[in-house]
Amino acid sequence: MRHFHFIFLLLFVALSLFSSLTAASDRALKPTSNESSERALLLLGSMAKSFSSLNYEGVFVHTDSTNMNSMRIRHGLLQDNVYESLEDLDGDKLEVIRINDTMVCVYSDATTANHTTPLNRPFQRFENVDSQRLLKGYQITLEPKLDRIAGRSVQIVKLTPKDAYRFGHEFWLDQENHFLLKHDLIKPSGQLLERTQFASVNFLPDLKIEDFTPKEGTYTKPIMETDRKYTKNVWHFDWLPEGFQLVWPEARVLNHSTSMLLLSDGITNVSVFVEPSMTSKNMSVFRTGATYAGETSFKVKDQRYLLTVVGEVPRITIEKLMTAFMPRH
Amino acid sequence: MTTHNTPKELSSSLSAMFDGEATDKDIELLLSADSLKLHEQLENYQLVRSALQGETPSTLVSDASFFNRVTQAIDAEQAAKQENIETDNVNVVPISAVKQSGNNSKDMSLKTIFSSLAIAASVSFVVIFGGNTLFSPVEEGIGITNVVGADSVDSLEEPISLAELELQDAMPADNIRLQHYLRQHAEQSTMNVGQGMMPMARVVSYPIEE
């Protein structure tokens, strides 16, 4: 009888253990939406860090409704200096080389250089994801299935917009190092607006300093870092889409008395430029790829201003932001 | 003017038109054909096509006759164009020339019919062959697109291609100020969206006047 009790007890323990293990494995296989969202946010943070922490050399293709360009990107730490370059492989419009905080724009010749507005800031990195802000604007999920991009296994993070004021994002991140291997920008209707996808990537590149030296015969323009000037922000928005907020508390001063404000929802930027103007301009919105740009003029007392709003957001967002822009009282 | 053509001749010419292989003779034959016969032939032609492709003909024909809708569209367009021609003549052309325009009206009319028929043919081509593709059993819901295609017959006067729609709000290449702001925006994106230099790839696509 005692043996019987002992066997019964053993069976009971074994069954309990088995059921709890099964439940745990189920949870592991099917994460709840909260767990999925948390994991996805961690991956996005890791993705942001990977761009500066990893050495890489790869070729990616950038496409939108009218353009398709292949580009080579390189990043490496050589003799304690950070080297980075982005080269347009299909044309002669752009090559940007960064060595620490010094940036050089390379053009095919001086004429092209004169046509092209130089880039005037070294690249800095954002390495922290503002989870709370992102969650205001997007439903963030980690796809349970793995995919394969550029010969590497990837996890897919989806950002589905919660309103009509932003586009959706899909990120294909390297399963090992969380580097971004593919990015889709998607309209709420599901229409693909823009895709950036690596065709090949090497995380153990044999990079040399010569790789970051402009080719012979090209025209180079070193970009001198100038002190960033800021001024008091005298503007504000009467309305902003959920999750969007100003990145800088002050306004950045650009040339010709232009003030620049930057809005972000944590993943999408909207740049706002305002400058005094002599001429009146009706509201107009243009588009190139996923980027919309709107222009309009308005008057404050006797002074007319020209407002330009640029961002990878739907047309309606650009239009609403232009009507919600006003002087701070 | 109508002539008596055999159904076989009509069928052959219709088929050629739908396949984009119509000769001048085919067009002449179709233009001079008895409208009722042409109507019947067109419906038959469509039914055969539909049957071959395993479609439901009623979906394509809908409640109003397909041919009637095409004819109405042609008539409407023809009337509108004639009205425009008359208006232009009154405003610009001397009185002596207005009289001549009466003689030219037949040529104009033929040209209008020809172009209208060509447009109508292309529209019907889209409807029929679009239907073949879109009315697959798996994607029945997409069939709505086909109805839109048929409805577009009513708005033939201002056909806008998808490419044109894309270009309607295209970024102006001569706006230097805007170009500068676009680059500023791309730069800021490299610092704030956590994708390294990749947002700079957009700069290459920005229009530049060269």
Instruction: Provide, as residue numbers in chain A, all residues whose Cβ is less than 8 Å from the Cβ of B209.
Output: 115
A117·B190 Cβ contact <8 A: no
Place of tokens 């032609």: B45
Contact: A287, B207; criterion CB under 8 Å: no
CB contact (8 A) between residue A180 and residue B189? no
**ipTM of model:** 0.77
* Cα–Cα distance for residue pair A146/A37, rounded to 1 Å: 16
The pTM assigned to this predicted structure is 0.60
Q: According to the model, what pLDDT value does residue A115 have? A: 46
Answer yes or no: do B195 and A65 touch at CB < 8 A.
no
Choose which CATH entry (2.50.20.10, 3.40.50.150, 3.40.50.720, 3.30.70.980) describes domain A33-223: 2.50.20.10
CB-CB neighbors (< 8 A) of A64 in chain B? 205
Contacting B residues, span 131-160, partner chain A, CB-CB under 8 Å: none
Can you give the pLDDT at residue A43? 94
Using CB atoms within 10 Å of the CB of residue A98, give its burial: 0 to 12 exposed, 13 to 18 middle, 19+ buried. buried
Taking CA–CA distances from B196, the nearest residue in chain A reads A51
**DSSP3 helix / strand / coil % (chain B, rounded to 5):** 75, 0, 20
For strands A284-288 and A251-253, give the pairing.
Answer: unpaired
Question: What pLDDT is stored for residue A129 in this prediction?
Answer: 74
pLDDT confidence of residue A122: 31
Asked if B11 is an interface residue toward chain A (Cβ–Cβ < 8 A), one would say: no
**Which of B194, B204, B208 lies at the smallest CB-CB distance from A47?**
B194
Give the residue among A87, A95, A86, A90 at the shortest CA–CA distance from A116.
A95
Mean pLDDT by runs of 10 across the 210 residues of chain B is 60 65 72 66 55 40 43 55 42 32 40 38 31 26 27 33 44 74 79 66 58
pLDDT in tens, A214-241: 776 676 665 544 556 888 899 999 999 9
Per the CB < 8 Å rule, is B202 touching A126?
no
CA angle A240, A246, A250 (to 5 degrees): 135
Closest CB to B179 among A94, A117, A194? A117
Task: Report the distance separating Cα A93 and Cα A113, nearest Å.
Answer: 9
In angstroms, the CA B145 to CA B131 distance is 9
CA dihedral sign of residues A23, A28, A30, A35: positive
Rounded to a whole number of angstroms, the distance from the CA of B191 to the nearest CA of chain A is 5
Least confident of A5-9, A65-69, B67-71: B67-71
Q: Which residue has the higher pLDDT, A83 or B63?
A: A83
What average pLDDT does this structure show over A126-145?
86
pLDDT at A138: 96
The tens digit of pLDDT for each residue in A168-211 reads: 999 999 999 999 999 999 998 888 999 999 999 999 999 998 88
Please give the CATH architecture assigned to the domain spanning A230-327. 2-Layer Sandwich (3.30)
Task: Please check whether residue B182 touches A, CB under 8 A.
Answer: yes
More confident residue, A84 or B146: A84
Which residues make beta-bridge pairs with B55?
Answer: none
The two three-digit tokens of residue A23, written as one number = 């439940």
Q: Minimal CA–CA distance to A3: which of B71, A11, B20, A221? A: A11
d(CA A215, CA B160): 45
- Domain limits of chain A? 33-223, 230-327
B99 Cβ under 8 Å from any chain A Cβ: no
Q: What angle do CA A317, B179, A242 make, to 5 degrees?
A: 20
Please report the pLDDT score of residue B15 as a whole number.
Answer: 67
* B187 interface with A at CB cutoff 8 Å: yes
Q: How far apart are CA A157 and CA A41, in angstroms?
A: 9
Which residue from B166, B208, B210 is facing A65, i.e. has the nearest CB? B166
Mutation target among A57, A112, A269 for the B interface, most CBs of B within 10 A:
A269
Tell if the CB–CB gap between A126 and B193 is shorter than 8 Å: yes
pLDDT in tens, A288-326: 888 899 999 999 988 999 999 999 999 999 999 999 999
Q: What's chain A's average pLDDT?
A: 83
Q: Do the strands A269-276 and A259-264 form a parallel or antiparallel pair, or are they unpaired?
A: antiparallel
H or E segment at A327?
strand A325-327
Residues from chain A contacting residue B185 (CB–CB below 8 Å): 269, 271, 291, 310-311
Residues 6+ apart with CB under 8 A from B136: none
Beta-carbon separation of A267 and B208 below 8 A: no
